[in-house]
Chains A and B, each alone.
Chain A
Amino acid sequence: MSNVPSDVKYASTHEWVREEDDGTVTVGISDHAQESLGDLVFVETPEIGRTVEAGEAVAVVESVKAASDVYAPVPGAIIDANSQLQDAPELVNTDPYGEGWIMRIRLDDPHALDELMDADDYEHLITEEDDG
């Protein structure tokens, strides 16, 4: 069973979003997402400074099985990317909500977070996907 912590929010495209105290959010991919992908071998992190729309493809995670886009779950400016993933992509597998974070975004509008799912809704989504 995948780990779905309740202190973060989720996008339907399987990113998680943690609200920080300074008006920024940290973004990664969910435990469910890393589990479906299998061992990651490359992570292409986003370009820092770029302005993105919600739903825009900004990063790529490539596993033994497939390459998959990572989408910006909220609109804003990318202010940081996890450079550790260059040499240690497996951090996304071993610690998806911690050391395996992918990027930080400065929100244009804090209300953008309201569009995201909470842990209960996300758990529903992945249960349905597994059954489907």
Chain B
Amino acid sequence: MLQRTPLYDRHQAAGAKLVDFAGWEMPLNYGSQIKEHEQVRGAAGVFDVSHMGVVDVTGPGARNFLRRVLANDAGRLKAPGQAFYSCMLNDQAGIIDDLIVYYLSEGRYRTVVNAARRAEDLTWLKQHTAGYDVRIRLRADAAVIAVQGPKAQACLGKAVDARLESRLAGIKPFRVVETGDWLIARTGYTGEDGFEIILPGRSALDLWDHLTAAGAVPCGLGARDSLRLEAGLCLYGQDMDTTTTPLESALGWTVAWKPEDRDFIGRVALESQRARGVVRRLMGLVLDARGVLRHGQALQSDLGGEGEVTSGGFSPVLGRSIGLARIPADDDGPWTVDIRGRALPVRLVKPPFVRNGHALVD
């Protein structure tokens, strides 16, 4: 039996195409993925992402615990309301998951983890609490709603009361405000302005209805995937997993190397990889020919190098297919991709492809 979010009835009533996503019955689209994508780039869309795991890390030892289990440094979260993105690594520096950490108050942190990694993450976190006065708790009662796009603030403003509306403009990117049992964060996965609201499941229907009444159009996981790909954001399980490190996943910027004495899990392996030199890297691809890059397609360089498309899809903004690929670090090609038996040339580019509605690559 698939799990359902508190918004399941709304998705069904709106005619969503529902699919199994990591054990959850989630909307893939509500008719047209491309229209939903364009809605987010041009106005505002609303996503139910309640399948993601909301995990509270609390207690006097919470901060030091996070400094141990995450590659980014919770010590950099100086004031409540700050947030960051981080990888959680195993001892070999393989990525167990990528997540967002919100700093709420002294000894109170909330993380949002991938749906497919909930169980592994919880097990891992609980295995490493020895020596820390910390409590790990999955908030199965929480819903997560993302409202994204240039009109996200206007839509959310109409959907909440006047007191809350007045606070929205003051929430800077990657900041969070806690109000009652709601968190409102200026974060997202689309390359647009927007908010992610973590709230009790019982309040989710009201917020959803208010947001859609305010003009935010329901968008499914299909659009979420093409939006994040245009934004050049990695997807766990496709672009990275336990067999790849942040340095091989274009996520080196999320690793806090300083202070040098912070002994986070995976540090030793990651430092040794950095010293040896990284053999594989993650790059962006553009396919100018007709066709669509897809996860798993083989890449070949004229110099003899081999690689693989890790994420691919059609970019509505560019009108062509784009992708992410893992290739040898020293091989600039030229590269071709094998699509249904044909070798088509691809261009290597540095993501993101699109930011705030504008194309950043040719």
Question: How far, in Å, is A111 (CB) from chain B's closest CB?
Answer: 33
**Contact status A64-B314, CB under 8 Å:** yes
Contact of A39 (CB < 8 Å), options: B34, B290, B291, B294: B34
Query: In whole angstroms, how far apart are the Cα atoms of A66 and B33 in the complex?
Result: 13
Closest chain B residue to A93 by CB distance?
B32
With contact pairs A64-B33, A93-B32 given, residues A38 and B292 touching in the complex (Cβ less than 8 Å) = no
**Contact status B222-A64, CB under 8 Å:** yes
B90 within 8 A of A: no
A62 within 8 A of B: yes
Interface code B199-210, partner A: CB below 8 Å = 1, 0 otherwise? Answer: 000000000000
Closest chain A residue to B321 by CB distance?
A41
With contact pairs A64-B314, A65-B222 given, residues A42 and B290 touching in the complex (Cβ less than 8 Å) = yes
Question: How far, in Å, is B226 (CB) from chain A's closest CB?
Answer: 7
CB-defined contacts of B294 to chain A, threshold 8 Å: 66-67
**Contact status B33-A39, CB under 8 Å:** yes
B313 within 8 A of A: yes
CB-defined contacts of B313 to chain A, threshold 8 Å: 64
B163 within 8 A of A: no
A44 within 8 A of B: yes
Closest chain A residue to B36 by CB distance?
A39
B340 within 8 A of A: yes
CB-defined contacts of A62 to chain B, threshold 8 Å: 291-292
Please report the total number of A residues contacting B with Cβ < 8 Å.
14
**Contact status B291-A42, CB under 8 Å:** yes
Interface code B290-302, partner A: CB below 8 Å = 1, 0 otherwise? Answer: 1110100000000
Q: Which of A42-62 contact B (CB under 8 A)?
A: 42, 44, 60, 62
CB-defined contacts of A39 to chain B, threshold 8 Å: 32-35
**Contact status A64-B34, CB under 8 Å:** yes
Query: In whole angstroms, how far apart are the Cα atoms of A42 and B292 in the complex?
Result: 8
Closest chain A residue to B226 by CB distance?
A64
B29 within 8 A of A: yes
**Contact status B29-A38, CB under 8 Å:** yes
Query: In whole angstroms, how far apart are the Cα atoms of A93 and B340 in the complex?
Result: 23
Interface code A60-82, partner B: CB below 8 Å = 1, 0 otherwise? Answer: 10101111000000000000000
Query: In whole angstroms, how far apart are the Cα atoms of A38 and B27 in the complex?
Result: 13
Size band of the interface chain B makes with A:
10 to 19
**Contact status B32-A41, CB under 8 Å:** no
CB-defined contacts of A60 to chain B, threshold 8 Å: 340
Query: In whole angstroms, how far apart are the Cα atoms of A97 and B199 in the complex?
Result: 45
**Contact status B292-A67, CB under 8 Å:** yes
Closest chain B residue to A39 by CB distance?
B34
Query: In whole angstroms, how far apart are the Cα atoms of A98 and B29 in the complex?
Result: 24
Query: In whole angstroms, how far apart are the Cα atoms of A35 and B30 in the complex?
Result: 11
CB-defined contacts of A64 to chain B, threshold 8 Å: 33-34, 222, 226, 313-314
Contact of A41 (CB < 8 Å), options: B29, B35, B292, B340: B292
Interface code A17-42, partner B: CB below 8 Å = 1, 0 otherwise? Answer: 00000000000000000010011011
Q: Which of B221-236 contact A (CB under 8 A)?
A: 222, 226
Query: In whole angstroms, how far apart are the Cα atoms of A131 and B356 in the complex?
Result: 42
Question: How far, in Å, is B290 (CB) from chain A's closest CB?
Answer: 5
Query: In whole angstroms, how far apart are the Cα atoms of A66 and B321 in the complex?
Result: 12
Query: In whole angstroms, how far apart are the Cα atoms of A125 and B314 in the complex?
Result: 31
Closest chain B residue to A62 by CB distance?
B292
Closest chain A residue to B289 by CB distance?
A42
Closest chain A residue to B315 by CB distance?
A41
CB-defined contacts of B35 to chain A, threshold 8 Å: 39
Interface code B315-326, partner A: CB below 8 Å = 1, 0 otherwise? Answer: 000000100000
Question: How far, in Å, is A68 (CB) from chain B's closest CB?
Answer: 11
**Contact status B290-A44, CB under 8 Å:** yes
Query: In whole angstroms, how far apart are the Cα atoms of A44 and B339 in the complex?
Result: 14
Question: How far, in Å, is B346 (CB) from chain A's closest CB?
Answer: 16
Query: In whole angstroms, how far apart are the Cα atoms of A67 and B339 in the complex?
Result: 10
Q: Which of B304-349 contact A (CB under 8 A)?
A: 313-314, 321, 339-340
Residue positions of A touching B, CB distance < 8 A: 35, 38-39, 41-42, 44, 60, 62, 64-67, 90, 93
Other 6 A-B pairs with CB < 8 A, given A64-B314, A67-B339:
A38-B17, A41-B314, A64-B33, A64-B34, A65-B222, A67-B292
The 8 closest A-B pairs by CB, nearest first: A41-B314, A39-B34, A42-B290, A64-B33, A39-B33, A62-B292, A39-B32, A64-B314
20 contacts between A and B (CB under 8 A): A35-B17, A38-B28, A38-B29, A38-B32, A39-B32, A39-B35, A41-B34, A41-B292, A41-B321, A42-B290, A42-B291, A42-B292, A44-B290, A60-B340, A62-B292, A64-B33, A64-B314, A66-B294, A67-B340, A90-B34
